[in-house]
Amino acid sequence: MVLEYLLDEILRIEHLKKYFIKKSLFSSKIETIRAVDDVSFSLNKGEVFVLAGESGSGKSTIAKLILKSLEADSGKIIFENHEIRNDKKSLEKIRMNCQMIHQDPYDSINPRMKILDIVSEPLEIHKIGNSDLRKKRVIEVLHEVKLEPAEEIIKKYPHMLSGGQRQRVVLARALSIKPKIIVADEPVSMLDVSIRAEILELMHELQKKYEISFIYITHDLATARYFGQRIGILYLGKIVEMGQIDDVLFKPKHPYTQALIDAISEPDPENLNKEKKIRINDPIEIDVYEGCRFRARCPYVIDKCKVEPDLETINKDHYFACYVDIN
């Protein structure tokens, strides 16, 4: 697959791979999990790129590889036209410019630290300002995420805040050093449904205001459409479809994307007896890494699917990896 170069590209991921070896507890069997298997995509300045897929599809592993908190087996991460390697300068560059928001606020905030210290931590790590300036910046950024009164909030501990407020703290922390990119790994999935929308709205507002580029990781296509411009659909470590969100969600080309959409759509009475039912929860009995990964669950499977299809483009910026025309 050849990726088109974006006009205003800020980040580019090329052929990223990460396999894990899993040893069985009960036998000497060793299993290889291809968590991320030849993933390429790019991100424009000020754009929100969504990575969507079910649990276990490799989303968090990709986030960790980009932030270099996990070492890739192979592949490249290119930030502002420079490859990020493992030297100190490269790591500093990516960590200064790219911040992560985790699914669980408690993953990234220390419960024994006050909000002031939590939010100013990235500034301290990167030796930005003195303590007065850092405090000023913390108050400023707490206003940005609408945690008021900021002067009181800074004295509190995480357990004194609600879940939504804690995720605002996490967002403030990520914003503190004015990153160019934020990788948000399912940032609202642990929150009460009632407050998800307001946190998403806030992220959306700040993303637009500061033209931050976002990699928004989710299993929820509705929020993907609200927040993102382009999307990559991940299935077992591979991007099976990628393009403009409306193209992918309204004119899906891959049976897996179709299945994800069907799963959230109102059932159409005319389609209830549709023969081509995707077996989305069926157990998989074949070696999934041989041929197309989706073939065990795919109602359109043909003989050719024993050979893995490439991610190809039909028109500019809509890629999919499937031999069959499902439309």
Q: Please, what is the minimum distance in Å from the beta carbon of residue 35 to ligand ADP?
A: 3
- The residue whose Cβ lies closest to Mg ion is 60
For residue 201, the SS3 value is helix
CB 277 within 8 A of CB 299: yes
Q: Minimal CA–CA distance to 169: which of 96, 98, 106, 97?
A: 106
Q: In the complex with ligand ADP, which residue's Cβ is closer, 233 or 249? A: 233
Alpha carbons within 13 A on the beta-carbon side of 15 = 7
Q: In the complex with Mg ion, which residue's Cβ is closer, 34 or 59? A: 59
Residues lying near Mg ion in the complex (CB under 5 A): 59-60
Name which of ligand ADP, Mg ion, none residue 155 binds, using a CB cut-off of 5 to 8 Å depending on partner kind: none
Binding mask 238-267 vs ligand ADP (x if CB under 6 A, - otherwise)?
------------------------------
Per DSSP, the residues of 40-80 read EEEEETT-EEEEE--TTSSHHHHHHHHTTSS--SEEEEEET
Binding mask 44-63 vs ligand ADP (x if CB under 6 A, - otherwise)?
---------x-xxxxxxx--
Question: What six digits make up the tokens of 181?
Answer: 């990119």
Question: What six digits make up the tokens of 287?
Answer: 């070696």
| E strands in the chain | 9-23, 30-44, 48-52, 74-79, 82-83, 98-101, 181-185, 213-218, 230-235, 238-244, 312-315, 318-320
Q: Please, what is the minimum distance in Å from the beta carbon of residue 144 to Mg ion?
A: 27
* Angstrom distance (rounded) from CA 199 to CA 45: 22
Per DSSP, the residues of 233-285 read EEETTEEEEEEEHHHHHHS--SHHHHHHHHHHSPPPGGGTT-S----TTPPP-
232 touches ligand ADP by CB under 6 A? no
Q: In the complex with ligand ADP, which residue's Cβ is closer, 237 or 243? A: 237
* Contacts of ligand ADP in 10-39 (CB under 6 A): 20, 22, 33, 35
Q: Please, what is the minimum distance in Å from the beta carbon of residue 54 to ligand ADP?
A: 7
Question: What does residue 294 show for φ and ψ, rounded to 5 degrees?
Answer: -95, 0
Q: Please, what is the minimum distance in Å from the beta carbon of residue 70 to ligand ADP?
A: 8
Q: Please, what is the minimum distance in Å from the beta carbon of residue 57 to ligand ADP?
A: 4
Q: Please, what is the minimum distance in Å from the beta carbon of residue 188 to ligand ADP?
A: 15
Q: In the complex with ligand ADP, which residue's Cβ is closer, 58 or 291? A: 58
* Contacts of ligand ADP in 134-193 (CB under 6 A): none
Total of chain residues touching ligand ADP, rule CB under 6 A: 12
Q: Please, what is the minimum distance in Å from the beta carbon of residue 109 to ligand ADP?
A: 20
Q: In the complex with Mg ion, which residue's Cβ is closer, 40 or 60? A: 60
Q: In the complex with ligand ADP, which residue's Cβ is closer, 190 or 326? A: 190
Question: What six digits make up the tokens of 21?
Answer: 């070896």
Contact footprint for ligand ADP (CB under 6 A) = 20, 22, 33, 35, 53, 55-61
